Amino acid sequence: MTQDHAFIGRQPILNRQQQIIGYELLFRLNKEAVSAEFSSDMQAGTNVLVNTISNMGTDWLVGSKLAFINVAESMLESNFLELLHPQRVVLEVLETTKATPELLARVKDLRQQGFGVALDDFLLTPQTAPFLEYANYIKLDIQLLGMPQVPGFSKELRKYPVLQVAEKVETKEEFRQCMEIGFDCFQGYYFAHPETLSAKVINPSYANILNLLNMLRNNAEIRDIENALKRDVALSFKLLRYINSVGFGLSCEIQSFRHAVTILGYQKLYRWLTLLLVTAGAETGSAPALLKTAVTRGRLVELLGSHFLDGQDRDNLFIVGMFSLLDVLLDMPIDRILETLILPESISDALMERSGMYGPFLELAEACEDPEMSEVPRLCEQLQITPDMLNRAHVQSLAWVEELGV
């Protein structure tokens, strides 16, 4: 890869209700790059990078979501930032940035243009304090600071009118402590790589069940019912498990949601949903961010494979991506979950071992959720996916999930 290419990744930022308010976009200028910092000798690459973001339009920033973008001194000093949509972007000023009069004036000007400003990995010192006048967000790395020190740092910064973001929240206990401390926003592996989440009960969205019941009552097209099922990882899992139950007497593999609806029929599906409606609460279930991650991953895996596979394989790719978080959602080993479903071996191989035809596409989607994105170049090269193809798939999957209203 040359410097004319840039990889893009993302990590969600959530509020106290665990709703996604934005994404930190993570960049690598080329295959060899190990960080997202820019220096003066990388201006050409930086230009390409910003143009890449700009050319994505607003699809990747739909609704009220924000893009948090790291900017080093050379980026702040350039006029590239004016290519971006200021109301949709929060500029993360890196901790290495010196508060010179020139840079402070530049940050003030960017705020006046409408950009948000975040101070990344912030530590309050005489050198960094001048930036606080122009900041909307302060991001505290709780791993770097150490949890025992975090309450003091947070309290000290509370005199400033900024939102505090806890970065690198990795466990449920850390999230609980940060909530008690009073952080406004949260970011970290607990949400993007939620291995520690426990969700023994997984409930479909109350609204999605009602929507499907209405669609069935109105004899909606199977295609529309299939799309409605794709919005809800819990609902689709329960449907496949029900169809594959011993009592149903099914001996063939379910090839897609369309296949499942066809086998079950509208009348039985309606009866099943009515029963489910009784047991599903409007406010129960797993963290919305986790469910959203599952649906987004499903769409991303489907899009990544769409350049090479079509038809039935695309449906399978979506199931692979969405069901790849079932072990976290259900707090059960994936092999035990798969025992309750009759799925093609190619799907099971991907979910169990990240192998087979679909495995590498799932691996790539998961690698994109890692802030380091260390495996992305290797997997892209293996699958012959260019950075542009990867970025476009990212953008489209985010936009698609927002359009679904997940």
**Predicted pLDDT of residue 234:** 79
Where is mean pLDDT largest: 6-15, 104-113, 365-374?
104-113
pLDDT band for position 283 (50/70/90)?
A: very low
Is residue 19 within 8 A of residue 401, CB to CB? The reply is no
Out of 258, 279, 300, pick the residue that ends a domain. 279
How do residues 53-67 score in pLDDT, each as one tens digit? Answer: 555 544 554 456 888
3-state secondary structure of 25: strand
Contact residues for 302 (Cβ-Cβ < 8 A; gap 6+): 314, 317, 318, 321
What is the SS3 string spanning 349-363? HHHHHCCCCCHHHHH
* CATH code of residue 104: 3.20.20.450
Confidence band for 41, pLDDT divided at 50, 70 and 90: very low
CA distance 48 to 37: 14
Instruction: Say if residue 220 is in the same domain as residue 315.
Output: no
Q: Is residue 197 part of a domain?
A: no
Is pLDDT at 371 greater than 60 in this prediction? yes
Q: Using 50, 70 and 90 to split pLDDT, how confident is the model at 81?
A: confident
Q: Assess if residue 126 is contained within a domain.
A: yes
Q: CB–CB of 221/173 below 8 Å?
A: no
Q: Does 53 lie in the same domain as 89?
A: yes
Q: For residues 53 and 115, state if they share a domain.
A: yes
Contact 145, 121 (CB under 8 A): no
Query: What is the greatest pairwise CA distance in the chain?
Result: 74
Output the pLDDT for position 169: 92
Q: Examine the domain organization and report whether 179 and 210 are in the same domain.
A: no
Under a CB-based contact definition with an 8 Å cutoff, are residues 327 and 337 in contact?
Answer: yes
DSSP 3-state of 315: helix
Position 1 in a domain:
no
Q: Are 67 and 23 in contact (CB under 8 A)?
A: yes
Q: Look at 21 and 362; give whichever has higher pLDDT.
A: 362
Residue 7 pLDDT level (bands cut at 50, 70, 90):
confident
Residue 324 has pLDDT above 50, yes or no: yes
Domain co-membership, 167 together with 147: yes
H/E segment holding residue 28: strand 20-28
Instruction: DSSP letter for 30, please.
Output: S
The structure tokens listed for 354 are: 């990240």
**Do residue 133 and residue 232 come from a single domain?**
no
Does 46 map to a domain?
Answer: yes
Q: Is the pLDDT of residue 37 over 60?
A: no
Number of domains present in the structure of the chain: 3
Q: Looking at residue 56, what is its pLDDT?
A: 52
Residue 231 covered by a domain? yes
- Band (pLDDT 50/70/90 cuts) for residue 352 is very high
Tell whether 272 and 296 lie within a shared domain.
Answer: no
CA angle 133, 137, 139 (to 5 degrees): 115
Q: What is the mean pLDDT of the chain?
A: 79
**What's the pLDDT score for residue 364?**
95
Mean pLDDT score, 68-93: 83
User: d(Cα 238, Cα 243) in Å, to the nearest integer?
Assistant: 9
Domain identity same for 16 and 149: yes
Q: What's the mean pLDDT in 228-248?
A: 73
- Which of 250, 279, 308 marks a domain boundary? 279
Residue 162 within a domain: yes
- Provide DSSP, 106-170: HHHHHHHHT-EEEETT----TTTGGGGGG-SEEEEEHHHH-GGGHHHHHHHHTTSS-EEEEE---
Tell me the DSSP string of 246-309.
GGGT--SPP--HHHHHHHH-HHHHHHHHHHHHHH--TT-SS-HHHHHHHHHHHHHHHHHHTTT-
Q: Domain of 68?
A: 7-192
Looking at the domain assignment, is residue 295 inside a domain?
A: yes
Same domain for 221 and 116? no
